């Protein structure tokens, strides 16, 4: 599921860049509208029915969701996701800025092709699920967050090396998806009978982090260029690593 989501996010960048170059930026939204209408017709036909027969009390669902915010595992993994996707948003919402500037002056179609590099990293992270199933979720999280932080050393050189950008993008997307899969594995294992609620609450952090990264990267770029944006992305990644380290240390403390 996570691989499908990420392939859609990054693959759409390639498609959007091509559409914008050929028919203008409005064609992206026209194409999206057509796709959504088609999906609205296909979903009721292709998705299996919900086997549950009992009525759902949504007030109880919301109340149970609020109780999750008192759990160490949920809050720590949520904070990791917040900083993780803030770093992700910093890259993908800001990368077009240095690529359209000197010395590259790339077109929208050329910039969209960088999504292919992201796809390579995201698809490689499918193995993270198997690692998590083997009991390595925490180790995968720590290692991937360290990779995420280091990837910004390559991404920060956007003004003089496209190769380094590609390498950095592959490493960053691999790291992001490895952590994302590991987070969800731990949460659903801890709450096997309420996976929808726990993942719904987790995605609250995901969305806030993505929004923060997208908003902050453009503001920082206007003040300090891509170097500033890269430092911002690396800082978000380092914050996620600190949250993981503190929580891991607390988990291993004698009680």
pTM of the model: 0.88
Split at pLDDT 50, 70, 90, the class of 252 is low
Q: Which residue has the higher pLDDT, 118 or 81?
A: 81
Ordered by start, the domain boundaries in the chain are: 2-46+71-249
Q: What is the pLDDT of residues 165-201, one digit of tens each?
A: 999 999 999 999 999 999 999 999 999 988 888 998 9
Sequential DSSP letters for 108-176: HHHHHTHHHHHHHHHHHTTHHHHHIIIIIHHHHHHHHHHHHHHHHHHHTTTTT-HHHHHHHHHHHHHHH
Is the CATH number 1.20.1250.20 carried by domain 2-46+71-249?
Answer: yes
Residue labelled with tokens 């910004």: 152
Q: What is the pLDDT of residues 10-25, one digit of tens each?
A: 888 888 988 988 999 8
């Amino acid at each position: 599921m996570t691989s499908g989501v990420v392939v859609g996010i990054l693959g759409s960048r390639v498609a959007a860049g091509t559409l914008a170059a050929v028919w203008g930026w409005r064609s992206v939204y026209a194409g999206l509208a057509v796709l959504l209408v088609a999906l609205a017709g296909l979903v009721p036909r292709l998705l299996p029915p919900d086997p549950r027969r009992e009525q759902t009390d949504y007030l109880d669902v919301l109340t149970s969701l609020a109780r999750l915010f008192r759990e160490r595992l949920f809050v720590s993994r949520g904070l990791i996701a917040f900083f993780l996707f803030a770093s992700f948003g910093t890259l993908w919402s800001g990368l077009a800025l240095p690529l359209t500037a000197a010395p590259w002056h790339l077109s929208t179609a050329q910039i969209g092709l960088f999504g292919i590099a992201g796809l390579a990293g995201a698809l490689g992270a499918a193995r993270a699920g198997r690692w998590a199933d083997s009991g390595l979720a925490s180790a995968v999280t720590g290692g991937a967050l360290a990779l995420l932080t280091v990837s910004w050393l390559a991404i920060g050189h956007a003004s003089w090396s496209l190769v380094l950008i590609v390498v950095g993008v592959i490493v960053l997307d691999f790291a992001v998806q490895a952590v994302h899969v590991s987070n969800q594995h731990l949460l659903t294992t801890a709450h096997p009978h309420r996976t929808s609620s726990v993942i719904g609450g987790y995605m609250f952090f995901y969305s806030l982090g993505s929004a923060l990264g997208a908003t902050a990267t453009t503001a920082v770029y206007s003040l300090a260029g891509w170097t500033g944006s890269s430092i911002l992305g690396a800082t978000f990644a380092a914050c996620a690593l600190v949250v993981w380290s503190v929580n891991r240390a607390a988990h291993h403390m004698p009680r």
